[in-house]
Amino acid sequence: MLHGFIPPHRYFPYLTWTEIQSMPERENVVIVQPVGAIEQHGPHLPIVVDSAIAMGVLGKALEKLEADVPVYALPCLYYGKSNEHWHFPGTITLSAQTLLLVLMEVADSLYRSGFRKLIFMNAHGGQPQVIEIVARDIHQKYEDFLVFPLFTWRVPNIAKELLTQKN
Ligand SMILES: [Zn+2]
């Protein structure tokens, strides 16, 4: 159950290196890196909330994809840049520089493996700026590498339908 919310056939770490090597048109395969956070979310919610949202939303989206659309999810990067929450015990944060380097080196590794399409699926409001900078830097480094920074909260959602009007 390492894949959590991700459909198992879409979970990149379940592949062998030989399966990846023999993947047809690797340059057209889309790799998604979920990026979350481990930080306070009020007294009522666990510190994993952002990471769980990243994986949950991505898992639901992947379930709806046609089988012949080649998309794989990487393991969630559970740690994000959460220094705005560090006064709360339990918050674990990377610096902006570390987050930038981790995402850059994930991208370097994917590029070396022949992939040319990468999505960062971010679910934490404290780091879209870092992720947008990384996406631009990766594309600057590799002109043929397409990198898309997404923010989970900007995808269409039904949150309004789930809330009842307070009278
Ligand atoms: Zn957050």
Take residue 25 and report the two structure tokens written for it.
Answer: 């048109």
- Each residue's pLDDT tens digit, 119-162: 999 999 999 999 999 999 999 999 999 999 999 987 777 778 88
Q: Residue 60 is part of which domain span?
A: 27-153
Domain assignment present for residue 122? The answer is: yes
Domain assignment present for residue 142? The answer is: yes
Span from the CA of 50 to the centroid of ligand 1 (angstroms): 6
Domain assignment present for residue 124? The answer is: yes
Pick out the chain residues at pLDDT < 50: none
Q: What is the CB neighbour count within 10 angstroms for residue 51?
A: 24
Q: Which residues pair with 151 in a beta bridge?
A: 122
Domain assignment present for residue 13? The answer is: no
Span from the CA of 52 to the centroid of ligand 1 (angstroms): 11
Domain assignment present for residue 9? The answer is: no
pLDDT (0 to 100) of residue 145: 98
Span from the CA of 89 to the centroid of ligand 1 (angstroms): 15
Buried b / exposed e along 119-157 (16+ C-beta atoms within 10 A): bbbbbbebbbebbeebbeebbeeeeebebebbbbeeeee
Span from the CA of 123 to the centroid of ligand 1 (angstroms): 7
pLDDT (0 to 100) of residue 163: 84
Span from the CA of 113 to the centroid of ligand 1 (angstroms): 31
Q: Enter the pTM of the model.
A: 0.93
d(CA 126, CA 124): 6
Span from the CA of 37 to the centroid of ligand 1 (angstroms): 6
Cβ atoms of residues 148 and 135 within 8 Å: yes
Span from the CA of 134 to the centroid of ligand 1 (angstroms): 19
Domain assignment present for residue 125? The answer is: yes
pLDDT (0 to 100) of residue 162: 82
pLDDT (0 to 100) of residue 93: 98
Take residue 131 and report the two structure tokens written for it.
Answer: 């992720």
pLDDT (0 to 100) of residue 146: 97
Take residue 39 and report the two structure tokens written for it.
Answer: 């930080």
Cβ atoms of residues 30 and 121 within 8 Å: no
Span from the CA of 72 to the centroid of ligand 1 (angstroms): 24
**CATH number for 130:** 3.40.50.10310
- Residue in 75, 59, 68, 66 with CA at minimum distance from that of residue 14: 75
Domain assignment present for residue 101? The answer is: yes
Span from the CA of 94 to the centroid of ligand 1 (angstroms): 13
Span from the CA of 104 to the centroid of ligand 1 (angstroms): 21
Domain assignment present for residue 7? The answer is: no
Q: What is the count of structural domains for the chain?
A: 1
pLDDT (0 to 100) of residue 166: 78
